[in-house]
């Protein structure tokens, strides 16, 4: 009896380990494969030049620039709104049914399919507000999609600041906002930053929300204003892997790798910030 | 307190409140715009056509059933793969792995969450599609199964992280009690920890599958996009609701019936995700209440 229990445990743990290892190896394999296949394509020309010959030659510079614009634009809109919303939930709101409704709304925003955001952006920003298919419309759409990620991680970071910090500030005559601005926000900053970067990482890699709101198939020059459409890395990868016949595989893998590096770099920065500040935290 | 400071405090408080309410405003706006653009479809297309089995927009046949079936088949396929992998990985990370290993494994799963779906779709086209075609000896590798495999990878991070959180939230005293009674570590996990975290694990699965049914790009790239109804759909090309919107919205003129039907599909997707999320969060909420009762 005793042995069989231990044998069962051994079998179960072996299975768990195998499944876990398969998952991790799968993730590793995806990344390694793209690096292996994509690295030969990478060169300064590939990164810094315009696509030529129906995108079958040349570089992907406009797509890279476009993704940077979209990510920055999304940050400019989503970070202040998300941050203030998180401050509201953690510092101002009481536990009322209305607050609960806000939380439910946030959870729902996070779950809405990205292509539905695309539809919404098309209806509201592109057509109703007349922004047209533009960087502005795409950024607004991506911002609303990113908002729930930023709000929930920022709120968690704000809540982890000990109550005593706030009490001291208030007892010395600080107003509510002074307490938030001078005491709570600086303490929560690393956690907030991590959340913001993870949210923007998602925005940078998304295609469906920008399909009808700002992404362009091909543009001969870089966008000149926020009311121009733009090329973007994820959409470009989609286009060259499904819409362009006779596309050289090398350029496809190169584009996939650049997008992957973009996203992994953001992920790495977020992880580093988190682990660095967690180890230094004194409370 | 000076007057200026008071004014500043007032303005900022107002701004914070406004941003706090923004989530509700956005959900309402999204729903309203989907309604406004999608509802006309219900009067323009007879219900018998909408509930039909043929999706030929050029001939004004807007049967949504094949699209619905496509989404369901792909998602169920993803569930079969993602649930065992996701739950096992979560159990391993939460209960078996030593601390240092957790610190490595968790960011790793996060990387998968951050992989853009086009990248997975792209790899799917070049690597998975030929494998499926030769492996199952099919006429084409662009099948529902191919989509399911990619969707499983994409819903895995959600399942792992939510399930792991809920396993983590099981009080240590439960495990100590089981171990003190002479149970092995595995018996403790299987008979005590997992049942105690049951609602959290179920929520994790629901959220993961909710994510899967709404996924667009990867699915569109590898499932062939043929709107057909058949019972062995897993091994044939299918077309999901999300892919239909993404592939066709670009070519449709504003205000046409076709346009309205695509928004109607968006409305259906919105309602599905709304239901899934309400259910999931109410389950978590109830589980938390119960845990509080038991611990007090």
The answer on A271 and A136 residing in a single domain is yes
Q: Which residue of B has its CA nearest to A32?
A: B123
Interface contacts A/B by beta carbons within 8 Å:
263
The answer on A59 and A10 residing in a single domain is no
The answer on A172 and A236 residing in a single domain is yes
Chain B residues touching A80 at Cβ < 8 A: 19
| Structural domain of A33 | 2-41
Range scoring the smallest mean pLDDT among A85-99, B124-138, B279-293: B279-293
The answer on A54 and A37 residing in a single domain is no
Substitution target from A8, A104, A119 for chain B, most B beta carbons within 10 A: A119
The answer on A49 and A7 residing in a single domain is no
- ipTM computed for the complex: 0.91
Answer yes or no: is pLDDT of A250 > 80: yes
What is the reported pTM?
A: 0.92
Dump pLDDT digits (tens) for A141-164: 999 999 999 999 999 999 999 999
The answer on A103 and A68 residing in a single domain is yes
Substitution target from A10, A90, A129, A207 for chain B, most B beta carbons within 10 A: A207
How many domains in chain A?
Answer: 2
Substitution target from B1, B6, B21, B23 for chain A, most A beta carbons within 10 A: B23
Dump pLDDT digits (tens) for A161-202: 999 999 999 899 888 888 999 999 999 999 899 999 999 999
The answer on A212 and A102 residing in a single domain is yes
The answer on A26 and A88 residing in a single domain is no
What pLDDT is attached to residue A283? 63
Domains of chain B (ranges; CATH) run 41-295 (1.10.3720.10)
The answer on A221 and A83 residing in a single domain is yes
What pLDDT is attached to residue B5? 81
The answer on A222 and A91 residing in a single domain is yes
What pLDDT is attached to residue A156? 92
Whether A237 and B125 lie within 8 Å, measured CB to CB: no
The answer on A80 and A19 residing in a single domain is no
The answer on A109 and A152 residing in a single domain is yes
Give me the residue from B126, B184, B217 closest to A208, CB to CB: B217
Answer yes or no: is pLDDT of B91 > 70: yes
Q: What is the CATH number of the domain that holds A170?
A: 1.10.3720.10
DSSP secondary structure letters along chain B: --HHHHHHHHHHHHHHHHHHHHHHHHHHHHHHHHHHHHTHHHHHS-HHHHTSS-EEGGGTEE--HHHHHHHHHHHHHHHHHHHHHHHHHHHIIIIIS-HHHHHHHHHHHHHHHHS-HHHHHHHIIIIIHHHHHHHTT-S-S-SHHHHHHHHHHHHHHHHHHHHHHHHHTS-HHHHHHHHHTT--HHHHIIIIIHHHTHHHHHHHHHHHHHHHHH--HHHHHHSBT-----TTGGGS-B--HHHHHHHHGGGPPTTSHHHHHHHHHHHHHHHHHHHHHHHHHHHHHHHHHHHHHHH-
Distance from CA of A235 to the nearest CA of B (A): 8
Whether B22 and A8 lie within 8 Å, measured CB to CB: no
């Amino acid at each position: 009896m005793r042995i069989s229990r231990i044998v069962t445990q051994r079998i179960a743990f072996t299975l768990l380990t195998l499944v876990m290892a398969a998952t991790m190896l799968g993730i590793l394999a995806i990344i390694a494969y793209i690096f292996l296949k994509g690295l030969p394509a990478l060169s300064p020309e590939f990164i810094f030049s315009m696509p030529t010959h129906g995108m079958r030659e040349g570089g992907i510079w406009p797509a890279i620039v476009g993704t940077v614009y979209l990510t920055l634009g999304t940050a400019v809109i989503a970070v202040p709104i998300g941050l203030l919303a998180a401050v509201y939930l953690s510092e101002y709101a009481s536990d009322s049914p209305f607050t609960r409704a806000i939380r439910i709304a946030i959870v729902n925003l996070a779950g809405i399919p990205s292509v539905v955001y695309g539809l919404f952006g098309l209806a509201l920003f592109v057509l109703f507000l007349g922004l047209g298919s533009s960087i502005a419309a795409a950024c607004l759409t991506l911002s609303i999609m990113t908002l729930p990620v930023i709000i929930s991680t920022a709120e968690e970071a704000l809540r982890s600041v000990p109550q005593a910090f706030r009490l001291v500030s208030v007892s010395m005559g600080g107003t509510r906002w002074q307490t938030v601005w001078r005491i709570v926000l600086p303490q929560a900053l690393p956690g907030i930053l991590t959340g913001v970067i993870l949210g923007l990482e998602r925005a940078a890699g998304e295609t469906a929300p920008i399909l009808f709101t700002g992404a362009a198939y091909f543009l001969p020059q870089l966008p000149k204003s926020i009311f121009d459409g733009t090329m973007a890395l994820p959409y470009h990868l989609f286009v060259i892997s499904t819409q362009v016949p006779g596309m050289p595989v090398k350029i496809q893998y190169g584009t996939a790798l650049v997008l992957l590096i973009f996203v992994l770099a953001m992920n790495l920065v977020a992880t580093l910030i988190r682990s660095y500040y967690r180890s230094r935290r004194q409370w | 307190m000076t007057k200026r400071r008071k004014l500043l405090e007032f303005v900022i408080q107002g701004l914070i409140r406004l941003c706090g309410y923004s989530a509700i405003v956005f959900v309402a706006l999204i729903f309203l715009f989907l309604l406004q653009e999608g509802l006309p479809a219900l009067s323009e297309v007879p219900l018998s056509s909408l509930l039909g089995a043929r999706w030929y927009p050029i001939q004004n046949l807007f049967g949504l059933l094949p699209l619905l079936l496509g989404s369901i088949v792909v998602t169920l396929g993803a569930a079969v793969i993602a649930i065992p992998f996701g739950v096992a990985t979560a159990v391993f990370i939460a209960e078996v792995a030593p601390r240092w290993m957790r610190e490595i494994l968790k960011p790793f799963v996060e990387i998968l969450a951050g992989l853009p779906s086009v990248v997975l779709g792209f790899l799917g086209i070049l690597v998975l599609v030929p494998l499926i075609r030769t492996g199952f000896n099919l006429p084409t590798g662009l099948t529902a199964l191919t989509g399911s495999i990619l969707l499983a990878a994409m819903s895995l991070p959600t399942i792992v992280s939510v399930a792991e959180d809920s396993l983590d939230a099981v009080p240590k005293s439960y495990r100590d009690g089981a171990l003190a009674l002479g149970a092995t570590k595995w018996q403790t996990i299987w008979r005590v920890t997992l049942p105690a975290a049951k609602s959290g694990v179920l929520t994790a699965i629901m959220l993961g599958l909710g994510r899967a049914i709404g996924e667009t790009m990867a699915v569109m790239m590898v499932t062939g996009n043929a709107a057909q109804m058949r019972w062995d759909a897993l091994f044939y090309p299918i077309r999901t609701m999300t892919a239909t919107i993404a592939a066709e919205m670009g070519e449709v003129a504003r205000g046409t019936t076709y346009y309205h039907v695509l928004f109607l599909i968006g409305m259906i997707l919105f309602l599905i995700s709304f239901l899934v999320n309400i259910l999931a969060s109410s389950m978590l909420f109830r589980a938390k209440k119960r845990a509080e009762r038991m611990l007090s």
